[in-house]
Structure 1
Amino acid sequence: MAKVAFIGLGVMGYPMAGHLKTKGGHDVTVYNRTTDKAEKWATEFGGQYASTPAEAAKDCDFVFACVGNDDDLRAVTIGPDGAFSALKSDAIFIDNTTASAAVARELYLAAKEKGCGFIDAPVSGGQAGAENGVLTVMCGGDQDVFDRAKPAIDSFAKFVGLMGESGAGQLTKMCNQICIAGIVQGLSESIHFAKQAGLDVATVISAIRGGAAQSWQMENRWETMEKGKFDYGFAVDWMRKDLGICLKTANDTGARLPATALIDQFYADVQEMGGGRWDTSSLLTRLEKPKGA
């Protein structure tokens, strides 16, 4: 059993922290910007909650975070009352936020100066994956630090891999989001085309789901998409944040992402339709809008 802190109890962090307590058997203290949620978590899982990230991190072996973006991450690590001010020597900070590779490298160096480890460890699998403890975790950092952190990360994961040096976890997550954007757009167009051609969508999916067109999105989202239900996971606002990171990184590295840039604008259209909190499969809605609307 390790002494663990978890910072950020959103739709992902709340169940992830729970698995660290129940499945991992760790002594867990949580921090959340909204104290009510931290109190609720402590009551549900039997852990403790703290009033600041620094208080949560004090004397911990591992400190996890899952917050919104680069600025949020800096605030809970190196900001006033940030966790880094209280990290004990040889502690490991594990960041599950989807953020930039640049901030991962910045915090890796800041942790190293304190004699601590830092792993960028963004996750994939959505809310359901977090709740069921079967996330994919893509890590960047030093091998020895990763080896020490992996058993704790395993508490909420089905796959945990070291992708390379600091920042490599975030870069791998970008690859993941690029793929998802293209797949969801393709599935949206396929469903839209089938409807316009007078085909039964369920019959079409039954024919193509076992072949080369198969995807997680097809298996898990086609039915809700056809019914016009878009409250089943990762929100459009979050996807646009992630694709923005991808496109900036592509610009910095010289990579070309023409389809990703186009689909990012399609998601902007969905936001303008009021769908910022709809899940990413809502790309279908912009295809079903009447022309000129």
Structure 2
Amino acid sequence: MGANMARRLRDQQETIVAVYDKHHATAADLATELGCEAAESPARVAAVAGIVFTVVPDDAAMHRIFSPTSTESLLRHSERRLFVNCATLSPAVHVEIESLVTQHGGRSLEACMAGSITQARHGTLYLMCGGHQDVFESAKPLLEKLSAHLRFIGSAGEAAKVKALVNMVMNCNTAALAEGLGLGAALGLDLTMLREIFAQTGAASRVLETDGEDMQNRSHDCYFSAAHAAKDSGIALMLAKTADLTVPLAQAAYDQYLRLVALGKGELDKSAVSELTFKDRSSQ
């Protein structure tokens, strides 16, 4: 996601001065493509850039790049910097990062993304933002170059709550679609016909549009991984526990994605959850 966001911003005449990835070869290839520096550490990115976008896989990675004690941390050069944090994380982590950045003289905005790597490349992401309103307004012209829809939700952590619910519902829809198509296959129905009827009735969904054909054809090239689906559903379940609310469908979808990860298929697209529901597929 981060690489395609950088490409998009470059195409929009923004200057990319440095990129970082924990896999240095990945950063080096992207830096060559963009004509910028492949930074050796997050700290180096903050040293040379006034605005820093972060896209990390989970809470632990976010804590590493914003560590108050590490010499490689973004906080080493956070004064007068703006950090735009785009990953789906626990809401409390976004609150914590905003506090740390503020203490070190910088500004922080969560800009939680809904969309695929293709949408990141084309600047059609859905961005849900949380933090201080004035910080959002200052970042808005840049964020508009990355998004088709841009929403300010509220204070730090609030956008992360919304994003967790977006992905919770998406993951439930994906698991339900996999079961519907799997059962259709077991009943001997033509799946192309079934998908067409789903699309024209109450079974229609955005997931049907993006994942239905892939489930039918066992084409699971990754746009949003099963591992990330499990992680994000886990965040939603944590929020439900905090709110003392039982969400059995979300729990069932989470369990399915955990099964997929346990089978070593976590890096496949979330559509691969269908591998668990079709009778003739080896993952069952």
Tell me the TM-score normalized by structure 2: 0.92
Map Cα deviations across residues 107-143 of structure 1 (whole Å, 9 max, x no partner). 1111222332111112111222222221111111010
1:33-72 to structure 2, matched below 5 A, reads 33-72=22-61
For the pair 1:84 / 2:75, whether they are aligned, the reply is yes
- Counterpart residue identity of residue 177, structure 1: N
Aligned partner of 2:220 in structure 1 is 230
Aligned partner of 1:158 in structure 2 is 148
Aligned partner of 1:9 in structure 2 is none
Aligned partner of 2:256 in structure 1 is 266
Secondary structure at the aligned position of 2:201 is classed as coil
Secondary structure at the aligned position of 1:94 is classed as strand
- Counterpart residue identity of residue 82, structure 1: S
Paired-residue identity, %: 26
Work out whether residues 64 and 95 of structure 1, in 8 Å CA contact, stay in contact via their aligned partners in 2.
yes
Work out whether residues 78 and 105 of structure 2, in 8 Å CA contact, stay in contact via their aligned partners in 1.
no
Secondary structure at the aligned position of 2:238 is classed as helix
Relative distance call for 1:148 and 1:39 in structure 2 (3 A) is same
Name structure 1 gaps, 5 residues minimum: 1-11
Aligned partner of 1:140 in structure 2 is 130
Relative distance call for 1:127 and 1:85 in structure 2 (3 A) is same
Work out whether residues 247 and 257 of structure 1, in 8 Å CA contact, stay in contact via their aligned partners in 2.
yes
- CA distance in structure 1 between the partners assigned to 2:27 and 2:185 by the alignment: 46
Map Cα deviations across residues 181-200 of structure 1 (whole Å, 9 max, x no partner). 11112211221222222221
- Counterpart residue identity of residue 104, structure 2: K
Work out whether residues 236 and 271 of structure 1, in 8 Å CA contact, stay in contact via their aligned partners in 2.
yes
> How many residues are paired up?
281
1:274 CA drift (Å): 3.0
Tell me the TM-score normalized by structure 1: 0.89
- CA distance in structure 1 between the partners assigned to 2:190 and 2:126 by the alignment: 34
For the pair 1:28 / 2:10, whether they are aligned, the reply is no
- CA distance in structure 2 between the partners assigned to 1:181 and 1:47 by the alignment: 37
Name structure 2 gaps, 5 residues minimum: none
Work out whether residues 168 and 232 of structure 2, in 8 Å CA contact, stay in contact via their aligned partners in 1.
no
1:103 CA drift (Å): 0.8
Work out whether residues 24 and 152 of structure 1, in 8 Å CA contact, stay in contact via their aligned partners in 2.
no
Work out whether residues 62 and 149 of structure 1, in 8 Å CA contact, stay in contact via their aligned partners in 2.
no
Map Cα deviations across residues 188-221 of structure 1 (whole Å, 9 max, x no partner). 1221222222221111222231333222211122
Aligned partner of 1:5 in structure 2 is none
Work out whether residues 42 and 48 of structure 1, in 8 Å CA contact, stay in contact via their aligned partners in 2.
yes
Relative distance call for 1:169 and 1:200 in structure 2 (3 A) is same
Relative distance call for 1:242 and 1:284 in structure 2 (3 A) is same
Map Cα deviations across residues 69-116 of structure 1 (whole Å, 9 max, x no partner). 112112112243211110232x21110111111111011111222332
- CA distance in structure 2 between the partners assigned to 1:157 and 1:62 by the alignment: 17
- CA distance in structure 1 between the partners assigned to 2:183 and 2:108 by the alignment: 47
- CA distance in structure 2 between the partners assigned to 1:94 and 1:68 by the alignment: 15
Work out whether residues 31 and 49 of structure 1, in 8 Å CA contact, stay in contact via their aligned partners in 2.
yes
Aligned partner of 1:106 in structure 2 is 96
1:59 CA drift (Å): 5.0
Aligned partner of 1:240 in structure 2 is 230
Aligned partner of 2:205 in structure 1 is 215
Work out whether residues 60 and 88 of structure 1, in 8 Å CA contact, stay in contact via their aligned partners in 2.
no
1:260 CA drift (Å): 0.8
Aligned partner of 2:4 in structure 1 is 15
- Counterpart residue identity of residue 37, structure 1: T
Secondary structure at the aligned position of 2:212 is classed as helix
